[in-house]
Structure formats: C-alpha cells, structure tokens
Structure 1
Amino acid sequence: MLKWLSRLFLLCLLLVFSGATAVFALYQQVKAELPDVSALREVQLDVPLRILSQDGELISQFGEQKRDPVTLAQLPPLLIDAFLATEDARFYEHPGIDPIGIARAAIVWITTGEKRQGASTITQQVARNFFLSREKTVTRKVKEIFLALHIESLLTKEEILELYLNKIPLGNRAHGVSAAAQVYYGKTVDQLTLAEMAMIAGLPQAPSLLNPIRSPERAAERRALVLGRMLELGKIGRQDYQQAMAAPVAASYHGTKITLSAPYLAEMAHQFALTMYGEAAYGLGLNIYTTVHAKEQEAANRALTDRLLAYDLRHGYRGAEAQLWQGRPWDDSRIRQHLDEQPGYWPLEPAVVTAVQAHSATIVIKEKGERQLSWDGMKWARRYITDSRQGHPPRRAGDILEAGEQIWVRSTADGWLLAQVPEINGALVSLRPSDGAVTALVGGFNFSLNKFNRVEQAKRQMGSNIKPFIYSAALDQGFGLSSLIDDAPIDSWDPGKGVPWRPRNSPNVYDGPIRLREALARSKNVVSIRLLRETGIDNALTRLRQFGFDTSDIPPTESLALGSPSATPLEMAAGYAAFANGGLKVDPYVVERIEDARGNVIYRHNPVSQRIISEENAFLITDALTSAIWGGSTRGKHWNGTGRRAGLALERKDIAGKTGTTNQSRDAWFSGFTPDRVATAWVGFDDFSRPLGRTAYNPNLSSAQVSGGEFGASAALPIWIDYMKAALADFPVRQRAVPANLYSAQIDTYTGEITTDTGVDTRDEYFELGKELRRVTIIHQPGAGFGERSVTEELF
C-alpha cells in the first residue's frame, strides 16, 4: 500500500512539474508577443470629440464610440454590485484568474456538452479589451491569462474595475456604463433604477443580441439572471428584487443629448480640430470650446428661421408635401406609422390632413396626435404662382387643403400654423468687433436639410453693403462727410459692350448736389460712382483688400461702386468690424480654447489685429452709418436712411448699419453694428439666377405685413433686428469717443459749408484738423433730368 502511495505521489509531482514546464514553455512562446501592460497606468480611453459653447452647452459630438468616462466613486454601488455578481463574483479574491470559476465552467461543459458559463474574470476582460482581439484560440486565451496576472501585479482592484466599467462595449456604440445609461435610458448613471442597472450589467456577454432595444425578451431574461445573482449574493432584498423584475423593459435609443443647436458652427470647429490633430481628434476626449454663448446663438437660430418662413409665407403656398390617399382613408395606425418615418425640420413638423371643414381642418401631427388647424392658421395660404405672383386669397379651408395630404405645420403662440419647407435661404453671423470672436452663426435654414454653410461658403454680390468701403477710401483722398457730390443720372458709353451704361438710383429719384453723409445714408448709387471716379478704382480696390476682401477676380470697372463684387457674409461682417472697433482688421474665429480629457487647456486662441484705417476714418464712416438708421434733414426737410426700421425697433443711438440689394433683388443684405456686436444678415436663393421677387397685399392678413419688392430693408434687416434685440439686451448704450484729431462745427445742410447761422438748415458735422475738403464740380448732363427714369444697373 505504501509502495502504491509513493508511486502516486511521484506521479502527482511529475504531473505538476510537467504542467509547470508546459506553462513555462507557453509563456516563453508568447512572451515576445505580450504587450506592455504598464501602459494601462497612462491609458487614454477613446472619448469622442465634443463641441461646446462658452457656457458649456453641448453643440455636437464626433467619434465612432460613445463614451463618458467616470470614476468608481461616481458610480452607484448597486451598479457595481450588478456587474460583479454577473461577471466576476470572486473579483476581490482571485489574483486575476479564477481557478474555481474555471473548474466550475469546465464541469458544466463536461457534463452538459454546452458552454453555459464563462470563465474569464474582469481582469481577463480588461486584458482582452485593451490588448487582444476577440478571436477564440488557445494562443489568445494563454496571452489573456498571462496579461491578467501581470495587470493584477501593477494595478489595484479599484483601478482595474474602473478601467473595465469605462471600456466595456455595451451595444449601440456605447462603451462604458455611463454611455450605456445615456444611450438606452437618456440618463446619467446616478439616475438609473435597479432594473435599469441590471439590464446594463447583463449586456457584456452579447451586447448586440441582448440589448433591450433589439431584443426586449432576451434582455428581460438576462436582466432576471442578473437580479437573481444579486439576490443570491445578498446585494438586494426580496422586495427590491420583485419590484425590479416587474419593471417594464422601457429602453429606447437616445442619441447624444445636444443642448444647443449650432450645427454649422460645430462643423467649422470640427474641421479646425481635424486640422490641429488629424483623425486622432476623434478619440482623445477633446473638449472644443467655441466662442458663442447659448443665448445669442438661440436668438440667431430663431431670427433667421422665423424670417425665412415669413418670406415663404407671404409669397404663397406651393401645396402639400405629398398626397397619401384619395378616396378610402388610411386608418390611425397607418397614419402614425407613416409620420414616424418622416423627418422634421425645426420648427416644422410633419402632419396628415384627415378631414377638412368649412374653415378648419383636422390633422394628425407626428408624436402629438390629432389636432385642429384653425382658419387663422391657414388663411395666409394664397396659391404660389411665381416668386412675384400670388393667387387670390382663399375663402375656405377647402381652397387650401384636402384629406389625405401630408403637410407641414409649426407651433405658434396662437396655435398651429400651416407651413412649408422654404426654398429661400439665408445666413446670419455675428462677431465681437474687438477681436473677431464669432458670437452667433447660422449658415442656412436647416443643417440636416442642406449642410452648405452660407456664412463662409456663399460668395454673393455685395450690393450697397460695399459702399462704406468706397466712402472710406474717398475720405483718405480728401473728401469729408460735408463734401458735395452731384446726384444726377449718369449716361456713359461702355466701349467694351458697345452700349450705354445707365446706372440708376433706387428709388429712381435724383436730388442734385448732396452731402456724402446723406448720400451714404440714403444709398445713392450715382453718387457712389462719381465718388469712385474721383477716388480712383485702384485706390478703391486697395481699400477692399485692406478690409480682407479678395479682389483677384474683381474687374476694375465702375460697377464695383454698386456692389458687383462678391463676398461671404463672414467676410462682410469682418469688414464692418473694422468700423466698429476704430479701424482694426480682425480675423474671425470660432474656437476659443481646447481642453484635453483631463481638463487641461492645450490650445487657446490668441487674437491679433492690425490697423488698416485711421480712427478718424472709422469714426466718420460709423457716424454716417448712424444716419442710415436715424435719418437727417436737408433744407429743413427730413429724410430717412435705408436702415430706419432698426432705429424704430431697437431705440438705441449707438447702432449703425447699411442695407444692400443687388440687381433684380437676387441678394439682400444688412450689415450693422454697435461697439459690442457686428452682424451681417443675408437672404437669397441658392440658385443665383432666381430673384427674391415681390408680393401683393394679402387682405386675409393684418395691415402689419410686408408687401411689394424684396430688398435688404425688408428681407435681411428684420433678421438682424430680431437677433440684435436679444444680443444687445445685456449691453448698455455706449457713446463713441470722438478721436482727438476731429472737431465738430455747424454746417449749412444745403451747401455743406461751415456756418455761424442757426436754424433748420444747419447741423453739426465732424471735420479733421488741418484737412482741406475736396469739392466736386457739379456737372448736369444734357438729356438726363432729375427724376428721369433710366435703365440697367440697379444694385443698391
């Protein structure tokens, strides 16, 4: 007996030695292929790139994986217990691999022939997730075991568990428990219920098959298993278990929770990050802080959207989006299913007409159910004929709608309003004139509908928005705001085209000799041309380049005085910023700083500026542009500037600005500023050949409506006003300081000469010390009288 025991003991020693030798041999075989796990101490989780406002609102997120790393201390203890109970109940007891767990899994496999239990510990899963593939081979498993043992020798259990809970893939591109809480429940981890924690803890085994969105029944079964293990281990009580088991599987997909809509700006910041860091930017966990604040951006969104929809409304109704049925109507479930598949373009929502009454209609709105569309919400809908023609005002709801139509509606303070996706488009951009920081930016009606960013990509004819730059060049050539220029028709021969060139004012009225201040404020076209002739085209082009405009493709012709050159709204706003800040050129920027995943600032924008015009020049142009807002008087008769609506709406004496409209009203502009904000609004069709048209008076609506031609003052200026009402609310009115080299004197508004007389024909004007003003000889061309109607160019 003793002899057999000795032999058995020797056999066991031999087996142990053979096993140890085999393990050592395996280790030597894979040793060279094992990664350096010490990198886990400095691991950088792939965290998405986030774009934020100055006040921390989330604008956008870029990256393949959704991850929001959290510390172990930030996780609810029950959530940790749920994972440990399911994935590795002996986590705090084993050295990285669990022999007991391996033996148990092996016994189940041998006795049943099925692999019902996994034998990988949480440490092994960390090794696999960070360093290995998921291929099922012996070599990979051996590497996993050795890596797990090595990880346990370097990191604490808490560090390993934190890495695991932030790295583990949990389906629907969610990596880590915090991302899963957002994706499946739209919650932060501290807001999860026990049932939701158990659901998430059940996902690691097969996240694509067990997630509650794709497979609610399988997910419920897996949740039950997790809850059962927690009850078995004493982590929860019987009552909590029963309540969690009874909870419905209420998960649904929740995308990244965007708290501020600024998609055009987000894409600009996104491209900036790619330029700085390349494709690595998507996983570095960078936080890109833009220059905008939520309040101003939201105001810009509303201003552009509301005014584009208003333009569309007054030009007529183009009809339903689609006709879903004629005759036998769809049932409720089919209507709702159809609506669920339709996109929405804020603030427009898809709806279906189910019945039409005499002066109302019954509609079903996506996600809101049945509603009534009143007569007040549809009586605007004259038939659209062309951009300049509308049909007769409707008299009953049947003139507009019929059952079975898919339409668009929007919610207003007065109820639901029939609407349509506008064909017109526009842009609005605002800067801080002191350094060029973008404070609000909207590049079009809807980013998901069209991603073309008109703020920085749409080069459109400038119209009369160009005139302040022409006048600025003239001031440096000896002119002053009191200088007289002849406002009389021009009839010039164009040798290049072999035809007469007859630019005209808009309206087509001519006042004879006129001061520069009044000519700029009233946007007199022929005065701009005569001023360009006296200044010189080369000087004007030089001035445009100084303001940042590309002049390489601008023909050196007199038409540039009317705004034939093209520029983007961003270039225009940057140009006007130099008037607002006293003569400094600033470069617009959208990224203020970049922080890494740990909150360290790794980039901060350093604004630079350069003087391009004198303080005196900037002040004089700005002061003239205040007259475009508030008007003035000549010979005792008051006249209005082209931007007078801004003065009436904002009631501030520190605003200045200029309208702009191009030939046939293809582009409408308004650029204006205060010392604190400069903004440009542009409206037009993406099809450059399509004019903005005109509208007839609609007797179905109130008298407070826009009718007639579409110009800068009617199409673009209201956008600027709506935005500035919100943007300037926190800024007090600021009076501009008069440069030391300027003095004020009283002039005769008829002659522009300094006078000691007082009365209705005088006003104060600014002059530069020691500067003799130029006068232009008044030449009245035969055959072209004041008020005579001429043709061709009409940019204004």
Structure 2
Amino acid sequence: MKFIKYLLLTLITLALLTVGSIVGLYYYVKPELPSVNTLRDVRLQIPMQVYTADGKLVSQFGEQRRIPLSLEDIPQPMIDAILATEDSRFYDHRGVDPIGVLRAFRVLVTTGSIREGASTITMQLARNFFLTRERAWMRKIKETFIALHIEQLLSKDEILELYLNKLALGHRAYGVGAAAEVYYGRELGQLNLAEIATIAGLPQGPSILNPISNPQASVQRRRIVLRRMLDENLISNEEYQAAFDAPVTARYHGAVIEVSAPYLAEMVRHEMVERYGAETAYTSGFKVYTTVHSEHQLAAEKSVRDNLHAYDERHGYRGPVNRLWGDLAREVMSEDEEPEQTLLDPETRAIPERRGSERWESDEIIEYLSRQRTFGPLVPAVVIDVGEQEAQLMLRNGDSYQLDWQAMDWARPYIDADRQGPAPETAADILTEGDHIWVRRLDDGSSYRLAQVPGPSSALIALQPDSGAVAAIVGGYSFGMSQYNRALQARRQVGSTIKPFIYAAALDDDYTLGTLVNDAPITQWNPGAGSAWRPRNSPEVYDGPIRLRKALARSKNVVSVRLIRSVGVDRTAEYMERFGFAAEDIPRNESLSLGSASFTPLEMARAFAVFANGGYLVDPHFIARIEDSDGNDTYVASPPVTCADCQLRELYEDWWEHELPQAPRVISEQTAFLITEGLNSAIWGGGSWPNQTGWNGTGWRAQNLRNQNIAGKTGTTNDVRDTWFVGYSTGIVAATWVGFDNVENALGRTTLNSNLGRNRQPIVGSEAGATTALPGWIEFMRSALEDFPSEPLELPTDMVSVRIDEDTGLLSNQSGYTSRFEYFVRGTEPTQFVEQEDSSPRLFEDDDDELFR
C-alpha cells in the first residue's frame, strides 16, 4: 500500500509539474504569440488579373499564383488525399493529436532521432500563417499553442479550407486550385486520381517532390499518398493500381492568357501600382476590366505586325540570323544578342566569323533552336536543304517544313534604305544550308513565310471619340523585344497631320471651305540666318488658286503656311491648346504649319477625336472598372462624355449605369463638321473623273474600306523619318505611326520587285504616310468598323449648303461637273454668282498679296 501511495504521489506530482510546465511555457511565449483573430478576416495573397472588356484574361501580376476555392468546390478525392496523408484524425482532435504525439515520441525514443512529425493540419496552418519552417523546439511549442487557439476560433471546415488555399506547392503555386492549373493546366475538378495524389504529396516538400523538377521522387510520394488512401478505405484496389502505374503528365502551365496585349497590361499594372502601391496591387486579388474589346485588340496587333512585314519585304532581305555550318559559318549567336542582328552585314554582304563546315545532326539543330526566342508570329528555323525553288526547314519542335517559292520570292537583297538588289531567281539566291532564319506563321496557323525582324517600329491607338475609352493599343512589334510603348511615349514629328488644326483655326477666323488661297511657291529671306526659307509642296506641284477643302484633302504645304500667317502663329498655337496639346510642345513659328511639332499617337488620337465627336475634348482612359477579391466594384470609370447615351451601355453592358459628366466643348460643332468634310475629301477626293477633272486626296487608299463616312489625314516628315495616318468615323478614331526608333534613320524608298508585280507589291517609290502608315490603319479599321458606329455627322444648326463653282468658290447656277454643293456656316456663304464668261477668281489683297477669298 505504501508503494501504491508513493506511486500515486509521484504521478500527481509529475502531472502537476507537466501542467505547470505547460502553463509556464505558455506565459513565457505568450508575448511572442500572434493574434489568430486575423484568421477571421484573412486575405490570402491573390494575384492581380487584367481582363478585356469582354472578360478575356490579358495578364496576371503577382508573386504567388492562387485560385481561392471554398471547401464545397474542392473535390472530395483531394480532401481525402490530404487528410489521409497529412492528418487522418483531423476531425477527431482539438488541434493537437495525442496519438500522433505518442507515436512520434516512441519513434524518437527507439531511434534516437526525429523521423516522424506529429504536426496536425491545424498546426501546419499555424506554421504557414505565423511561423517559419525552422526545426526548433520553441517553434514547435509556439505552433502547438497557436493551433489550440485556432481550434477555439474556427470550425474544422474553416481550418481545412484555409489550409488547402494556403499551401505552398511549388512553382509559385499556392493552394490546390492554383497547383492544378500550374501543373496540369486544368481546373481542380478536372484532375484524375493520380494527378490529385501528386498534388496531395507536395506539402511535405514542394521543391524536392515536384513532378516537374523531380518526377521520380514525385512518383514515389504519389504512391505513398495512394497507399494511405487505400489503407483508409477511401479508394478501391482497382483505383489504387490504375493511379499507381499512371505516367507523369505534369508540365509547367503559365496563366491561361486568352488575349495577348502586353502593352495594355503594362499600362494597367503601372496604374494599379500608382493607385494602391505595389504590395496591395499585386496581392489583393483585384480584377481589372479594361475598355478594350479582345477582337479589336487582336485586329490592332495583327495590323501593326502585317504592315511592318509588308514594309520589310518591299525593302529586301537582310540575310540569315546565323549560319550553323558550311564554308561561311560562324560561332553560334549568344542568347543575349539582339534579335535584329543578322548574319550578313548590309553594307558589305560579308559574313564576319567562320566556323567549321561539318553539317549538324538533327538533335543538335533542335537543341539550338530550343534556345532561340520567338517574337509574335516569328519562329526560328534552320535550312537543311535547298532546292530549285523550295527549301526544307527544321522548326524548333523538330518538324520538317517545305518553304515554297511564293513564300520567299520577295527576298531580293537589301542594300540600304533606298536600294534593293535584283529579284531572286532560285531558292539558292536567298538561302543556304545551315542558315538560321526567321519564318512567320500565317493566319491559317500551319503555313509559314520567310521573314525577318522588322527594321522600323510602329504604334497604333484607337479611342472612342464620345468618351475617350481606349478601344485598342499596340506600342510596338513585340513587347518581348522592347517594352517601350510608342503609342504613349514616342513623341515624333507629326508632319501634315497637324494641318486639320491649322485649318480649324482658319475656319474660326472667317475662312470657309470655299475660300481660295494661292497654291504657289513661297520664298522668305531670313536675315539672321543669311538664308531663305522655301516651304515646298510634296510632290512639288502647285495649282494656283485652290479652295480650302481641296487644299486640305491634297495636303498643300504652302497653303498651310499662308493660313498660319493670316491667323497668326501665336493665335494658332493658342487655338491648338484647345485640343489637349501642351503649350510647351507647340512651336511658336511658321514651321508649326508643316508639322514640326512632336506629339505621341495618343495625343494625336485625342485631338482628332474632337473633330469626330462634334467639338468636345475627352479624356483617354483604359480602365473601365476594378473588382476586389469578393467580386465588389471598388472603382467604376466616370469619363466625361459628349452626350447622355454614347453607346457605352451597349458596348460595356451595365458598367456605366451611373450618370456621367459632360465633356467640355472646345470648338464649335460647325467647325468640327467642316473639318470632317475636308478630311472626308482627303479619302474620297472630288471633281469628275469622266470629265478629266477628278482628283484624289492623300488618303485615297482608304476607299477600299467602301465607307463614305470615314475621314482622315496623312502625315510625312522631312526625309521620311516619321509617317502617320490619323482617321475616324463617328464611333472610333485611330492613329498609326511608323518610323525607326532611331530618329536619324529614314524609311527610304523602293522599286518594283519583278517577281511580285503590281498585284503583290502595290506600293513602290518613296515611303510616306499614305503608303507606310495608312495600310495598317486600313487593316485595323476593316475590323473595327464592323462594331463601331459609322454614320454621317449630323448637319449642325446654322449651316447651309449651296452650289458653288469648282474653280472660283462663287455661287453657281450650273449643275454639271464644274460645280458642287458646299457647306457654310450661315452668313459666310458666297453671295456673288460666278460670271460664266469669266470664271477667274476675284483677288482680295493682303499684306503678302497672295490670299484669295
């Protein structure tokens, strides 16, 4: 009895000491324990996602890939696999599993080392949220106390849901939902048992058990998970065996980008960081819906690329990127060399370095190609055989492809920007075995065309003129090549695209579309410089007295100079500020009338939108709304608009149901209408072709859109360093620019390639806005005009239409080809009829004796 008494006292003492030690430990570490109340309002780090207006994913930003799921959305096999492997008694303990602790203690006593952990799912959750993975007793003690507290605060299902969404599972995937997408490219509910078991095995070692980086270890871990599920009677023997023998199918899957619009995505990223700060923007699960529709964005991207390739093909082939074998081979280009670099020096056509002549094996070619980057539709390939008028290529996936003659017959040698060599007659004139070349994937997805990285750059931006919403934006050929967004950042001389603003100032200074101005050479002596300024037309043709409509449509330089002289440079510059141009960017001299100012494509599109919408200045914007991780709108755009109902609800559903502010009027409706009339003539021309008085405006190529309601203006700078076209209809305005990033490089000129003829090379001669920029605008608008309104501008109040004589601008009674109807602001129309016997214009003298009215 005495023994029993001492035994009981010993046990009680040990129990009290144990309880006291636990209590003491608790109070010792209590100041360091975090508050788990934050779990009630936990915000998992969820990446920011950017969408088009029609809900297609453009990009994703954030350190962690996470797709939060509620417990009911997680398939039961995944829950079973996690519980069987990590904590089979999860629903039976209170955060700490005594049986698991005793089992781990027994292993420690019998082996002398920690070989089995006793962490429950709740303890792992505590560690994942509040602690580190440091193997230390104090960390384990803190983990235990936090787990006990969590069990008091949350239900078992809430704990399990948090755990499954918090797990780090490798390759920046956090949570089982993201892991399914990263490793298998599918939603969690679409995975089979073997794939589920693979993911369930990752928590113990996301890096060493990874199915991508360590597939053998992953298979062994997967089989352990399956065995635990079988032991717990969660799967059948047949299911176990099928999943046990399943092959490894995991591979890395990035975010499922549905629309490639990297320049737009970068604009959104920058704006969101400005609004919320980097940490909040990247981790709060924002969904940003832009104003850009996917179809319009894809059309813009394609038009820019196709237009640049068309330019590059008419200027000739600059040679292969590299030559891998043969007498003139060189060392393999390193990955950090610029993609524009080509093997052949365009000046000497010589290959600078030599390598051995031994032909490469197929596996060597494939390995080499796998290390080469791709840019948009450009794919690297190696020439493995050259025939008479065809060549056999090896693509980077190891496939063989035959390049036919019509896919390469454009490739006459490039000499310089102004000169091309003779048209090739055979494939050997273009390609040599061992050449590393670029081929361009065509629209059918299976055909290729010989290509090269385009020399010049380009940008396109489209706006809705009624609201300023960005409809499409492309900042260059490839974001991977250059992140410089030329649509927003490139200030380039605008050339003749400035003229509509010069003419608008003149119309507000009592000029009319029927006013005659002398289209004749100008010479102005500059005493300070000791030289004369001689602005010239391009082409250098002068028509004498010419109506303003025709002068604007045909882009007469000397007329523009005479207008700015009449209105005044300072008054014209101040007038241009109404269109959103910054005062400091507007030159205060007569060269302004010829386009010496430099603006971005965005600034030009915004300014032309004033004409398209009837005289209002709108604010460009590209974010329509921002949604938080709970699906609530935290921001909805409120752009100033030109009218109460401007197609916004139709285009963007219910995003703009709230009342919108009114955009400010900056020019009269009448002036906007008259300029649009003049710019419509820049496309459709005038006169009578049957009677040999017909004439084309500089934008006549846009006639193939077969839309009578479009208007626009070409622009070309000196030495053809910048080319522009800005045009619009009532529903969309788009600006395109083409030029070299290096402003010293001119776009040059081309001759006709005899292999192609006029049908396949319709553009020859000097590059210009009409030939270089306009074709890209046409291709984009062909798609955009299907969705945006394209109607005649409504005739403003206080406007009249009268028949005038084509030559003099005076009233006419003739109904034939010698006259036309013209629009005037009431009170400015001519009052005198032309004298049919003498139709010469009446001269009104000014200081220069050169203006006609």
Calculate the TM-score normalised by the size of structure 2: 0.90
- Name the counterpart of 1:664: 719
1:394 corresponds to? 424
Is contact 1:574–1:586 with CA below 8 Å preserved after alignment? yes
* Partner residue in 2 for 1:793: none
The alpha carbon displacement at 1:260 in A equals 0.6
Q: Where in structure 2 are the equivalents of 1:123-272 lying within 5 Å?
A: 123-272=122-271
Distance 1:564 1:329 in 2: 55
Within the candidate set 361, 365, 382, 1:352 is matched to: 382
In the alignment, is the contact (CA less than 8 A) between 2:810 and 2:830 conserved in 1?
A: no
Q: Deviations over 1:389-436 (max 9, x none)?
A: 111111111111111111110223593211111121100000000010
Note if contact 2:711-2:727 (Cα within 8 Å) is conserved in structure 1.
yes
For 1:790, the equivalent position in structure 2 comes to none
Q: Which residue of the partner structure matches residue 437 of structure 1?
A: 469
Matching of residue 676 in structure 1 with residue 731 in structure 2: yes
Q: Which residue of 1 aligns with 2:86?
A: 87
The 8 Å contact of residues 702 and 778 in structure 2, kept in 1 or not, is answered as yes
Taking structure 1 as reference, are residues 22 and 155 closer, same or farther at Cα in structure 2, changes over 3 Å only?
Answer: same
Report if the CA contact (8 A) 2:512-2:828 is conserved: no
Q: 2:511 aligns with which of 473, 479, 485?
A: 479
1:599 to 616, 631, 636: 631
Confirm whether residue 43 of structure 1 aligns to residue 36 of structure 2.
no
Of the structure 1 ranges 302-311 and 763-772, higher mean CA displacement relative to structure 2 is found in: 763-772
Match for residue 498 of structure 2 among 462, 466, 479: 466
Aligned to 2:782: 725
Q: Is the 8 A contact 2:731 2:790 kept in 1?
A: no
Task: Report the Cα offset of residue 550 of structure 1.
Answer: 2.2
Q: Which amino acid aligns with 2:459?
A: A
Where does residue 12 of structure 2 map in the other structure? 13
Amino acid at match of 1:187: R
Checking the alignment, whether the CA contact within 8 Å between 2:201 and 2:221 is kept in structure 1 is: yes
CA deviation string 1:206-252 (max 9, x = no partner): 10111011111111110110111111111111111111111111211
Q: Which amino acid aligns with 1:397?
A: A
1:542-593 deviations in Å (ceiling 9; x for gaps): 1221111123144321111010100000000000001001100111111111
Moved more, 731-740 or 154-163: 731-740
Aligned pairs, how many?
A: 781
Rounded to whole Å, the distance in 2 between the matches of 1:468 and 1:322 is 48
Separation of aligned partners in 2, 1:696 and 1:636:
29
Amino acid at match of 1:502: R
**Hey, what's the Cα distance between the residues in 2 that align with 1:561 and 1:686?**
24
| Amino acid across the alignment from 2:744 | S
User: Aligned runs of 1:686-725 on 2, under 5 Å?
Assistant: 686-704=741-759, 705=761, 706-725=763-782
Give the corresponding residue for 1:495.
Answer: 527
Matches within 5 A, 1:320-399: 320-326=320-326, 327-367=357-397, 369-399=399-429
Q: CA deviation at 1:494?
A: 2.2
- Give distance in 2, aligned partners of 1:112 and 1:352: 61
Contact 2:732 2:788 in 1 (8 A): no
Taking the aligned partners of 1:561 and 1:474, their CA distance within structure 2 comes to: 12
**Helix, strand or coil at the partner of 1:639:** coil
Taking the aligned partners of 2:727 and 2:22, their CA distance within structure 1 comes to 78
Residues 308 and 454 in structure 2, CA contact (< 8 A), matched pair in contact too: yes
Following TM superposition, by how much is the alpha carbon of 1:368 offset from its aligned partner in structure 2, in angstroms?
5.3
Question: CA separation in 1, counterparts of 2:793 and 2:754?
Answer: 45
Q: 1:403 to 1:113 in 2, by over 3 A?
A: farther
For residues 613 and 447 of structure 2, what CA distance do their matches in structure 1 show?
44
Give the RMSD, CA atoms, in angstroms: 1.7
The one-letter amino acid of 1:348's match is L
The whole-number CA distance in structure 2 between the counterparts of 1:404 and 1:715 is: 34
Aligned partner of 2:290 in structure 1 is 290
* Alignment-derived partner of residue 30 in structure 2: 31
Aligned partners of 1:628 and 1:643 also within 8 Å: yes
Measure, in 2, the Cα distance between the counterparts of 1:421 and 1:769. 55
Counterpart mapping for 1:273-288 below 5 A = 273-279=272-278, 280-288=280-288
Structure 2 Cα separation of the partners of residues 478 and 636 of structure 1: 32
In 1, are the aligned partners of 2:811 and 2:830 still within 8 Å (CA)?
A: no
Kindly indicate whether the alpha-carbon contact (under 8 Å) linking 2:377 and 2:440 is maintained by their aligned counterparts in 1: yes
Within the alignment, does 1:535 sit opposite 2:567 as a pair?
Answer: yes
2-structure distance, mates of 1:780, 1:769:
28
Q: Which runs of 5+ in 2 are unaligned?
A: 327-356, 641-662, 832-841
Q: Distance in 1 between matches of 2:758 and 2:224?
A: 69
Summarize the Cα distance change of 1:781–1:619 in structure 2 as closer, same or farther, 3 Å threshold: closer
Cα displacement (A) at 1:497 = 2.3
CA displacement 1:768-796 (0-9 Å, x = unmatched): 123477997479999x9xxxxxxxxxxxx
Deviations 1:332-376 (A, max 9, x none): 111111111111111010111111122111111112511111111
Question: Residue 507 of structure 1 is aligned with which of 539, 562, 565?
Answer: 539
**Which amino acid in structure 1 is aligned with residue 292 of structure 2?**
V
Read off the aligned partner of 2:767 and give its amino acid letter: E
SS at match of 2:50: strand
Tell me, yes or no, if the aligned pair for 1:478 and 1:773 is still in contact at 8 Å. no
Structure 1 stretch 465-474 or stretch 487-496: which is displaced more? 487-496
Compare 573-582 and 736-745 and name the one that shifted more.
Answer: 736-745
2:652 aligns with: none
- 2:701 is the counterpart of 1:645: yes
Aligned equivalents of 2:430, 2:827: Cα separation in 1:
68
SS in 2 for 1:610: coil
Where 1:518 maps in the other structure, the secondary structure is helix
SS of the residue aligned with 1:514? strand
Q: 1:453 to 1:125 in 2, by over 3 A?
A: same
Q: Percent identity?
A: 52
SS of alignment partner, residue 617 of structure 2: strand
Alpha-carbon distance in 2 for matches of 1:476, 1:573: 22
DSSP-derived class of the 1:228 partner? helix
Residue type matched to 2:550 in 1?
A: E
Conserved? CA contact 1:484–1:776, under 8 Å: no
Instruction: Return the letter of the residue paired with 1:321.
Output: V
